[in-house]
A and B are shown apart, each in its own frame.
Chain A
Amino acid sequence: MISATEITKVFGKNTVLKNISTTINKGEVVAIIGPSGSGKSTFLRCLNLLEEPTSGEIAIKDVKMTNKNKLEIRKNIGMVFQQFNLFPHMTVLENVTYAPRKVKNIPNDRAHEIAKELLAKVGLTDKEDAYPNRLSGGQKQRVAIARALAMEPEIMLFDEPTSALDPEMVKEVLDVMKDLANTGMTMVIVTHEMNFAKEVADRVMFLDDGVLMEEGEPEEFFNNPSTDRAQDFLSKVL
């Protein structure tokens, strides 16, 4: 579904990603973990070309992603941000219907139907007409997930979706993500929630200083990390 080949990213003199290659299959849920500044977000953002790799290539369903086709391919890749990034001047319903209407040219009625279904799924039917600033962090993030899903993507990317949330709201968002994982969605999740990664992910990628140090099944990775860096990291966060 996603293949990243020898991705390197340089910011100025700083090489943030060093030759990362991996393949993510349809329906797979991959958790990316690692210390702060290790390049997790940058790697995730390379997957939909929000960040252009300095070298290497991304292919989605065997199509190489370029600046020419990236808008087209992004329709199939939803993204959820740490800071939600909801459109503040639009209501919840408008947030969720905007891209289907304007990007996929889906008729209003149909877009509303899809949006209402999704809002029901994330438990926010009663907030349709609210503006984002009237919502709690957890509600905002659930709207953001609904907004991304409204494009009916086959892939969802998450960049620390619960890091900006108060602790009591983390669960409501993780639950939505778990449901999504159970529907067979292909998901790539940057997260600090180790328990969530253990429970939901099919595979864990451990990044350290721009290098993909280790990847494997969560069970294996959390119990027997093979590199010193991963052992060190896990001893700090677990």
Chain B
Amino acid sequence: MDLDFNQIVPYIPFVLEGIWATLQFVIVSIVVGLLLGTVLALCKITKISILRVFANVYTSIFRGTPLILQLMLIHYAVPQITGYDIPAFLSAILAFGLNSAAYVSEIIRAGIMAVDKGQIEAAEALGVPYKPMMLHIIMPQAVKNILPALMNEFITLTKESAIVSTIGYLDLMRRAQIVQADIYRAFEPLLFAGAIYWVMVFILTKIGGLVERRLRQSD
């Protein structure tokens, strides 16, 4: 076995640019997932049954089918149906954002449900209406359950982001594959990309640990 990293040196800037490409759509996807996931979570805990059913069906579909299939559907089926040639970036944030929303909504719902029932009773007994109760009493406590699980979701999303390479989006993974085709060597560029993914996840994990420690301090 001979490894020769010299050959990829000229390609390093090209691959590194992939970090930004990856981060760009991961961050946008996370924001989309968070916003939509919060709305879905609220739908899941309301008394209005049609919203609850909608949110549950939504979650079931997006969690019950492969992400790569959702991505392919959005990227290739949308043009077929609407004639609109959807850019890879848009497909990517749609697929990842919509998919992540399903997971995020579950995390938020579970975080809210985990708050002691006695808290709701105490608030209700004081005559506190629903909105301020959620805002001032339930949510601040739910956040402690939610944040650590959300960090995990972000980490998963960052790793899974590599599958956007299949629709031609020039992310980290895609660039590694292009280098691979160029120099007829697989190991070095993939290893290089792998190291970068690992560093990104490592940093996210550290941030997650920090967040968790801060939360525990305030207990």
Contacts and interface: CB of A to CB of B under 8 A. Distances in A.
Interface string A125-169: 000000001000000000000011001000001000000000000
A12 interface: no
Given A89-B140, A133-B219, A81 B126 contact: no
B118 interface: yes
Interface string A103-115: 1000000000000
A87 B125 contact: no
A85 interface: yes
Given A88-B141, A89-B140, A74 B118 contact: no
Given A89-B141, A133-B219, A151 B136 contact: no
A102 B128 contact: yes
What secondary structure prevails in chain B residues at the interface with A?
Answer: helix
A102 B132 contact: yes
Contact of A85 (B118, B132, B140): B118
A83 B125 CA distance: 14
Interface size band for B? 10 to 19
A147 B132 CA distance: 17
Interface string B53-67: 000000000000000
Nearest to B129: A71
A157 to B, nearest CB: 8
Interface string B118-157: 1101101111110010001100110000000000000000
B116 interface: yes
A99 B128 contact: yes
A74 B127 CA distance: 5
Interface of A: 48, 50, 71-75, 77-79, 81, 83, 85-89, 98-99, 102-103, 133, 147-148, 151, 157
Interface of B: 116, 118-119, 121-122, 124-129, 132, 136-137, 140-141, 218-219
